[in-house]
Amino acid sequence: MMQIFNFRYDNVPMEINRLRCRVNYHALKFLPDIEEMADKLATKMRNRTSSGNPYMALHLRYEKGMVGLSFCDFAGTREEKVMMAAYRQKEWPRRFKNGSHLWPLALQKRKEGRCPLEPGEIAVILRALGYTRETQIYVASGQVYGGKNRMAPLRNMFPNLVTKEELASTAEMEHFRKHVTSLAALDFLVCLKSDVFVMTHGGNFAKLIMGARRYSGRHRLKSIKPDKGLMSKSLGDPYLAWASFAEDVVISHQARAGLPEPTFPGYDLWENPLTPCMCRA
């Protein structure tokens, strides 16, 4: 049903957009067992936090397929790069043949902010925004490309980092493992209930969470959409002092914290439902 309503808001009459809003946000329901399990996970996250510390949900888009499809250049061993090139050539032969894998193009995409952030990069951004080692982070993600080694910088800076599999017992998760969509639904709800939601790349999952938090009023809590282009320039400057970097991060993210914004032609309604959807308020 949601895919039917996945189009730009300015292409259809307002009454159709309002129907789409009700489908995307107001009428969105989950099976009782999914709702119950998500409540348990969210409660466990809240029980882990101490007074004054937020419970953060991090949608980390760094699966092998996403890294490959992005055709961006990432830090890694020579062996990793060779294997990734072979994977891209097999899965996307036309783009590979057109030179999308070449370093100059990959570097340009990163400067334009079109590459998914690595776990270590998002860790540095969160620290610059003032989040400490005590922050409790729920990670919504598929299998991270590079495994434990790639996750190490994020875990070292934020040791209180867990997934649903680490929060729940094997028996509790057994029922949901039968369907990938059920696992995604659990992640969706735990992210939706969080004090802080952070997305590292685009996609309908993260956009719908951003939109739902705005629609429900949870935008009063933070939803952070990192400025990947700025991060690319800053992290690539070896002479930039930490204080200057942190100041740049804070300033650039003041307008990227999930507050509703007036929509305009071409704007993505999933992520920002203000004008067509929130007129009810």
Residue 22 has pLDDT above 90, yes or no: no
Highest-pLDDT range among 47-56, 100-109, 181-190: 181-190
Cβ neighbours of residue 239 closer than 8 Å, sequence gap 6 or more? none
Domain annotation for the chain: domains and CATH numbers:
31-62+116-280 (3.40.50)
Are the C-beta atoms of 135 and 126 separated by less than 8 Å? yes
pLDDT above 90 as % of the chain = 34
Residue 66 has pLDDT above 70, yes or no: yes
Residue 48 has pLDDT above 60, yes or no: yes
Structure-model confidence comparison of residues 250 and 41, the more confident one: 41
**Separation between Cα atoms, residue 244 and residue 232, nearest integer Å:** 15
At residue 271, the pLDDT reads: 65
Per-residue pLDDT tens over the stretch 236-265: 677 788 888 888 888 877 766 655 555 555
**Separation between Cα atoms, residue 121 and residue 58, nearest integer Å:** 13
Cβ neighbours of residue 211 closer than 8 Å, sequence gap 6 or more? 24, 25, 269, 270, 271, 272, 273
Residue 51 has pLDDT above 80, yes or no: no
Q: What is the 3-state secondary structure (H, E, C) of 21-89?
A: HHHHHHCCCCCHHHHHHHHHHHHHHHHHCCCCCCEEEEECCCEHHHHHHHCCCCCCCHHHHHHHHHHHH
**Separation between Cα atoms, residue 188 and residue 100, nearest integer Å:** 32
Alpha helices in 136-281 (DSSP H): 147-157, 164-167, 170-174, 180-193, 204-216, 228-235, 242-252, 274-277
At residue 191, the pLDDT reads: 94
> How many CA within 13 A on the CB side of residue 155?
9
Q: Does the pTM exceed 0.75?
A: yes
At residue 257, the pLDDT reads: 64
Instruction: Tell me the pLDDT band of 28, cut-offs 50, 70 and 90.
Output: confident
Residue 68 has pLDDT above 70, yes or no: yes
Q: Could you give the dihedral angle defined by the CA atoms of residues 209, 213, 214 and 216, in that order, rounded to the nearest 10 degrees?
A: 130
Average pLDDT, the chain: 81
Least confident segment among 39-53, 85-99, 218-232, 239-253: 218-232
Q: Is 69 exposed, middle or buried (0-12, 13-18, 19+ CB in 10 A)?
A: middle
At residue 102, the pLDDT reads: 75
Per-residue pLDDT tens over the stretch 98-122: 877 777 777 788 888 888 899 999 9
Residue 276 has pLDDT above 80, yes or no: no
